[in-house]
Amino acid sequence: MSRVYCNPLNLPYKYSFQKPNMPGLGDDKLSVYREAADPTLEYFKGRYYLFPSMTAGFYVSSNMLDWEYHELDAPIPVFDYAPDVRAVGDYLYFCASKRNEVCNFYRSKDPVNEGFEEIEGSFSFWDPDLFLDDDGRMYLYWGCSNITPIWGVELDPRTMEPVCDKKVMFEMDNKSRGYERIGMDHVSPKAGMDFEKAAEAIFQDLMKMPMELRQKEGLTTEDAVRKLARGFAGDDPYIEGAYMTKHDGKYYLQYAFPQTQTNVYGDGVLVGDNPLGPFEFARNNPFSYKPGGFINGAGHGSTIADEDGRYWHAASMSISVNNDMERRLGLWKAGFDADGELYCDQCYGDWPSDMDKEAFEEPEYMLLSYGKKAFVSSGVGADKLTNEDVKSWWKADSKTGEWAVIDLGEAMDVNCIQINFADDGIKAEIPEGAQCLVAHEIRYIDREKRLTRWILEGSLDGGDFFVIEDKSKADTNLCNDFVYRPEGIKARFIRLTVIEVPFDQNICVSGIRVFGKGNGRMPAKAAGVKAVMKTDIDMQVSWSKDNAAGHNIVWGYAPTKLYHSYLVLGRDSQNIGAIVKDSPIYVRVDSFNETGITHGDVIKIR
């Protein structure tokens, strides 16, 4: 049987409770949302371990398809962001982020069945990555800021203390690397803002903080407060989430940019001959980048080889509606080409994918539900069920028994259905005494048993329905559940009836996504394709309106290295802001419909 999965990964994401605790960073309103991000993927003693932020635990799998959740308890600091794990001999080592406080290390020979032992640290770091070289020497990389760089240092593997001064690995440059610019599609929301005025206002708010809290944040001087205020006010990108992969004697230092809440959150890469550099930026940048489709983002990730030597990249995907930190996890095929360029296959990167097929093979199952009519039992936003946008949803009028029907227009062969639940207006409070202060926020991770239950049915005529999947008595809470039928189901209508969702909230569904094989002819090749450089780092791509369901723009620095992609629906043009200054550019626009994909012609831009 094929090993088919669909991003975002089908995992029991935990609920986070978050309330700001610093003047100038928003009101003190409590927000409740599901979160998992900054994943570290590691292969250890025959199993795959996935450690994300704000999960109060980790996931384990023997095949990277079926994941089992395990809770973490003391001494592991579950509220510390960006947990990092590495296999070091017989141990799995763990560390995580804590600003201006010493960060400890932890290790376990069997994280599932045994606890972790604590190793006292000697310095603070944020977004860490531990790396063990083939010669037994150990290194740590860290950094998460728009005012400081990514750092690296060698550690003594016996004491976990630095054996040299920390070194700057690289600095941001959003004037040359277009992908490092902040904002949706790299358009800064701060354009035209009075920077000095905004920085002064934030400075005044920060100075109202109690001295004890300022010191905890490392703001011990007025100059330090001003520097932070200027960082908050400006539009420099966050450079964060370092991760090191060694391949064929080369060191590939990866990093995330520019903001987790945008559609352009991704990962770049530098290459060097030594673990502490010097490094040069790879020609294929950014190597992980997913700005289009149902759910966006592919940043702050990790790249490993599986037991068969095939590479995979796990990273964060953004919803960021209830809170900027409302995120999910994605997993994609990765690898190194003949020239040593690290790539990641995110073409159709939130469609069903067969894990055993090679990177960049075209999807077997096409999107059948985009723009199709939806009928619901009550509520608002029925059209949001098929608009391919995780940031919008149908909200029913009640908490149970509500249904939605998708009309595909004609009977089709259905193989995959992804059901995406959303959260809206959760009313809950942090249990007394359970909260934790994380940097400038009050946080709590919900560990209570929550359930999501539903029944999925199909029909040829809209009258007689048959059951596809019955989870009316499920003991799980899966908000991005995935149903796979390799033999296919003939259906025109798909009906979802929701029985139960967490926190007694009104039922919300952001997408009933149906995949399979449609009827009719392949789409025509995209016509009238134009690509124009608007600036040194901005490219506008357009094409003639046609009858295709959508288009996929692919580009790269060589005609055989079109590793980047942007899936576009409902438009006939798109600005690409992830361009590297002075790099050659080749572009192709592919058309797709419910039957298949038609490639366009490759165009040289510069």
Q: How far is CA 126 from the centre of its chain?
A: 18
Provide the CA 482 distance to its chain's centre, in angstroms: 18
Instruction: Please check whether residue 349 is in contact with residue 259, taking contact to mean a CB–CB distance below 8 angstroms.
Output: no
pLDDT of residue 537: 98
Contact (CB, 8 A) for 108 and 92: yes
| Overall size of the chain counted in residues | 606
Per-residue pLDDT, 29: 86
Give residue 235's pLDDT band: very low, low, confident or very high (50, 70, 90): confident
Position 84 scores a pLDDT of 98
Residue found by looking up tokens 């790879």 in the block: 282
Model confidence at 206, pLDDT cuts 50, 70, 90, reads confident
pLDDT at position 1: 67
Q: Which two tokens stand for residue 303?
A: 């790249």
Q: Tally Cβ neighbours within 10 Å of residue 594.
A: 23
Are 491 and 417 contacting, i.e. CB atoms less than 8 angstroms apart?
no
- The helices-and-strands tally (H runs, E runs) of the chain is 3, 43
The number of CA neighbours under 13 Å toward the Cβ of 427 is 3
Q: In the predicted model, what is the mean pLDDT of the chain?
A: 95
Span 154-179, average pLDDT: 97
The fold for domain 530-604 equals Immunoglobulin-like (2.60.40)
- DSSP letters for 144-167: EESSS-EEEEEE-TTT--BSS--E
Whether the pLDDT of residue 506 is over 70: the answer is yes
The letter for the amino acid at 62 is S
What average pLDDT score do residues 115-129 get? 96
Read off the pLDDT of each residue in 568-586 and give the average, rounded to a whole number: 98
Do the beta carbons of residue 243 and residue 129 sit within 8 Å? yes
pLDDT in tens, 247-284: 999 999 999 999 999 999 999 999 999 999 999 999 99
Q: What pLDDT is attached to residue 23?
A: 61
Q: Tell me the CA end-to-end span of the chain in Å, nearest whole number.
A: 45
How does 108-141 read in b/e, with b if 16+ C-beta sit within 10 Å?
A: beebeeeebeebebeeebbbbbbbbeeeeebbbb
* pLDDT greater than 80 at residue 233: no
pLDDT value, residue 26:
56
**Which whole number is the average pLDDT over 417-440?**
88
Q: Specify the CATH class of 36-187+238-354 in words.
A: mainly beta
Once rounded to an integer, what is the mean pLDDT over residues 128-157? 97
The CATH code that applies to domain 366-517 is 2.60.120.260
pLDDT in tens, 552-562: 999 999 999 99
Contact 172, 239 (CB under 8 A): yes
Two tokens, residue 376: 């619901």
- Maximum C-alpha span of the chain: 72
Q: Where are the alpha helices (DSSP H) in 209-362?
A: 211-216, 222-233
**What is the reported pLDDT for 24?**
54
Please give the order of strands across the beta sheet that includes 538-542. 530-535, 538-542, 573-576
- Bridge partners (DSSP) of residue 267 are 256, 288
The residues facing 1 across adjacent strands are none
Q: Which residue has the tokens 């450089």?
A: 533
Q: Tell me the per-residue pLDDT of 35-53, one tens digit each, with 9 for 90 and over.
A: 999 999 999 999 999 999 9
Residue 568's pLDDT is what? Answer: 98
- Rounded Cα–Cα distance for residues 446 and 57 (Å): 12
Measured distance CA(591)–CA(29) in Å, rounded: 44
Answer whether residue 470 shows pLDDT above 90.
yes
**Residues 51-78: tens digit of each pLDDT:** 999 999 999 999 999 999 999 999 999 9
Cβ contact 317:297 at 8 Å: yes
Q: Residue type for 599, please?
A: H
Q: Per-residue pLDDT for 119 more than 80? A: yes
Structure tokens at 403: 């249904």
Question: What does the alpha-carbon distance between residue 234 and residue 225 come to, in Å, rounded to a whole number?
Answer: 14
> What pLDDT band is residue 25 in, cutting at 50, 70 and 90?
low
Least trusted range by pLDDT, from 225-229, 291-295, 412-416:
225-229
DSSP annotation of 125? B
Better pLDDT: 544 or 194: 544
Query: Omega of the bond prior to 8 within 30 degrees of 0, cis?
Result: yes
- In percent, the amount of the chain with pLDDT more than 90 equals 86
Evaluate whether 235 touches 269 at the Cβ level (below 8 Å): no
Rounded CA separation 551/590 (Å): 5
The residues facing 91 across adjacent strands are 88
Q: Mean pLDDT throughout 89-116?
A: 96
Query: Higher confidence at residue 23 or residue 245?
Result: 245
Given this model, what pLDDT does residue 164 score?
Answer: 97
Between 345 and 101, the more confident residue is 345
Least confident segment among 19-33, 302-316, 482-496: 19-33
| Confidence at 27, pLDDT banded by 50, 70, 90 | low
C-alpha 465/C-alpha 92 separation (Å) is: 49
Name the helix (H) or strand (E) containing 454: strand 453-459
Q: Where are the domains of the chain?
A: 36-187+238-354, 195-233, 366-517, 530-604
Name which of 144-148, 360-364, 460-464 the model is least confident about: 144-148
* Residue 432: pLDDT band with limits 50, 70, 90: confident
State the DSSP code for 146: S
Exposed/middle/buried for residue 219 (C-beta within 10 Å: 0-12, 13-18, 19+): buried
Q: For the residues 364-368, what does the mean pLDDT come to? A: 98
pLDDT for the residue 202: 79
What percent of the chain lies above the pLDDT cut of 70?
A: 98
Average confidence (pLDDT) over 4-14: 98
Q: What is the pTM of this model?
A: 0.95
Mean pLDDT over 127-149 rounds to 96
The dihedral built from the CA positions of residue 600, 601, 605 and 606, taken in this order, carries a sign that is positive
